Structure 1
Amino acid sequence: MKLEDAIFNWLQMKIVSDARTDDGAATETLQFFETILTEDHKLDHYVVDRTDDHAYYIQYTQEGRQLELKYDRELAEKLLSDINSNPKYN
């Protein structure tokens, strides 16, 4: 899995997990992507640095370099929106 995809998947699950604190599956999936980020991509640190009306900004440290990626807010929040709109999960 490419780093950008792994961070995006982690971000989506972070959003879901933060919004649905009692959702064990969301927490497990978040931990799965955290393992990918630390073990496969050797990230030392990754965090949602900030958000604005249009994007999420993720800061991460890889091999001693601090970097940043930007993701579209609507796309990042789509998974949570899809889950919330499905009565099976509510």
Structure 2
Amino acid sequence: MQLKDALFNWLQIQIVWEARPSDRSARDTAYFFEEMLREDHQVTNLEKTAEKDRYVVQYELDGQVHTESFAREAAEQLIKDIMAEPKYNQTFTD
């Protein structure tokens, strides 16, 4: 998986996990993508910032800080799809 794709997937699932903190699947998937970014791409210090129409992901790679920007609408599509599907809108417990 390309770095930009992995960053986008991590961002989307982070948004889901924040919206649904008791969702263990979201948590596990977020950890999976974070591990992939660390191990496959040597990315560290991931952070995301929401702006008006974009999300900015900041990370370190080879000792340098990099940023990648994603359209807010695209980044939030997964949580919108989940929330629109009744079978996924159950109460989760740890």
Distance 2:18 2:62 in 1: 28
Between the aligned partners of 2:7 and 2:72, the Cα distance in structure 1 is 14
Q: Which residue type is aligned with residue 61 of structure 2?
A: Q
- State the TM-score, normalized to the length of structure 1: 0.96
Output the CA distance in 2 between the equivalents of 1:54 and 1:44. Answer: 25
Query: Among the aligned pairs, what percent are the same residue?
Result: 43
- Structure with the bigger RCO (C-alpha within 8 Å, sep 6+) is 2
Total equivalences in the alignment:
89
- Structure 1, unaligned runs of 5 or more: none
- In the alignment, structure 1 residue 16 sits paired with structure 2 residue 6: no
**When the two structures are superposed, what TM-score results if normalisation uses the length of structure 2?**
0.92
Structure 1 residue ranges, 4+ long, deviating more than 3 angstroms after superposition: none
Match of 1:46 in 2: 46
Distance in structure 2 (CA, Å) of the matches to 1:52 and 1:43: 22
SS in 1 for 2:67: strand
State the distance in 1 between where 2:27 and 2:51 align.
25
Give the equivalent residue in structure 2 for 1:69. Answer: 68
Paired amino acid for 1:69: E
Offset, 1:2 = 0.3
* Separation (CA, whole Å) in 2 of partners of 1:5 and 1:73: 15
